[in-house]
Structure 1
Amino acid sequence: MKNIRIGITALLFAILIGAVTAMPGWTARGPGDGTCSAVDILDGVPVTIVGTVASIGYSGQGMEIDTGAGIVTVYGLGSIRFWDDIGIARPGVGEDLVIEGYEVTFSDGSTKIIVYSVSIGDETVILRDEETGAPVWRGAGQRRNAGHRDGCRLLQ
């Protein structure tokens, strides 16, 4: 009987925790999984970067571009699966490319360059929706709070 009571208490506790963390105030605001941005990317400073891929970090660590004047790290190139789906090889080390992006400042004061498009040779891949700045690899059906400019609640 005591084990049943402990089991029921644990189950109710788990349900309570699940309900609380599912509330709107507990939702993620990114940029962790590429779903949402913690800032409005299109309000950033437009930048063009021309150079050669120097290194590629693990997921979320960006890609380093050697511009000849220094190394610049860019973020938001999308997953390998996205590139496979569109039938274009993701840029690799040693490839020359042109990046169009936005330098954005996050709430913690850090700045990052988020890629809008990448041109490799004569092919250009658009990575962000031109109206919302949302990643195109996420697809319109997966955006949350579609009434907001970037499909997510923004930090003010």
Structure 2
Amino acid sequence: DDPKCNKFSFYSDNTPTPMMAKSLLYKLVMHGQTGVQVNQALFKEVHTTQNGLMRVFKVMNISEESKAWVKDPKNRVCDAPGSWYCVGQYPPALEKLISKRKNFAQLEDFNKVGQVRSAYSQMIEQERSGKGYSEL
């Protein structure tokens, strides 16, 4: 119902829309400014560049079991034994969450077969055919 992502935006006076204000992205970027704070139990700011253009946050409260799983070399998928290039993997504790994900795709890919068209793709197709989006 929001193909141009207007709900995830800013008003003309640079205040965030409610959806933007609730987002983790906004909170991490604006942390410490105008009363915006990240959840201190989940994130800790560990580095900010001199001009404040980049921040690094540490994710807090990671289970010891997950930390041990990630450190174990047998859980690494590398292109060759002992290689420095290893594809990242997530610990089993995140499997339930990851199974719910939907991979990002280019919204304008009109050549995909067998997938439901996003509201954005439908809007673009309607505009190209000369019909307005509201005529759907």
Q: TM class, shorter-chain normalised?
A: under 0.3
Q: Which has the higher helix share?
A: 2
Q: Which has the higher strand share?
A: 1
Q: Which structure is higher in RCO with an 8 Å CA cutoff and minimum separation 6?
A: 1
The TM-score normalised by the length of structure 2 is 0.23
